[in-house]
Structures are given as C-alpha cells and as structure tokens.
Amino acid sequence: MKFTMDHFNINVLNLEKSLAFYEKALGLYETSRKTADDGSFIIVYLEDGRSAGKLELTWLKSQEKPYDLGDEEFHIAFKTDAFDAAHALHEQMGCICLENKEMGIYFINDPDGYWLEIVPKR
C-alpha cells in the first residue's frame, strides 16, 4: 500500500483576503471551490502549477474570531529559485516574521498568522 500527499488544509477567517495574499505572496491560484448548499462553509483549493500538492483554504461561516494557532510550531515550506526577489516582495508586503540568515531561510505570516517558510532552491 502506498500513499501520496494530496493537500494540506488551513482554516481562514477572511477567504478573499487569504486568496489575495496567497496569489500575491506565493503565486498560488484557485483551481476548485466547494460551497455548502446552506452557506456554512467554502473550501477552495490552491495550486502552484508545478507540484502535485494543493493548499486547501476552508472558510467557516460560524467562525467569528481569529483561530487559535497554539504555539505556532507548525508551518508550510515553499521553495523558490528566485529567493532574493521573493524576499524583496515579502519585505515590501510587510509579511516577514522571522529571518534565519545563518540557515538562509525566512518565514512569512499569512493573514491568519500561519507561518510559511521560504527556502532557496539548492
């Protein structure tokens, strides 16, 4: 029996704000959407057009306050072959939350506070 990673889900408070962020910051785009008949949730899948994995954003109508992300010890990593340009964009966007120059990586925050690691293609 073999498994392959299909998608990673995060819940978001403001779907449109999150969609705009992921498109601008990481070049991800919407490939499919499921809206509950009763309007209680919307699920949107984002892809990068190069890898098989998808990011699932889930918006819940009942969620009125920001999600509790605990100790924020989890993150999603994105690799880029344009590390300096990416860093400049994220610096301009004001979303860099941590840099580790010794390791050659940095992290950005999405609108809900999720950490996204940016690593250079090596």
What's the CATH code of the domain at 46? 3.10.180.10
Please check whether residue 20 lies inside any domain of the structure.
Answer: yes
Please check whether residue 11 lies inside any domain of the structure.
Answer: yes
pLDDT over threshold 80, residue 71: no
pLDDT of residue 119: 95
Please check whether residue 79 lies inside any domain of the structure.
Answer: yes
Q: Count of domains in the chain?
A: 1
- Give how far the C-alpha of residue 84 lies from the chain's centroid of Cα atoms, to the nearest Å: 19
Reading the block at residue 22, the tokens are: 């992921």
86 lies in which domain range?
7-62+73-120
Please check whether residue 67 lies inside any domain of the structure.
Answer: no
Q: For the full predicted model, state whether its pTM sits above 0.95.
A: no
Q: What is the pLDDT averaged over residues 94-115?
A: 95
Please give the Cα distance from 42 to 2 (Å, whole number): 30
Please check whether residue 1 lies inside any domain of the structure.
Answer: no
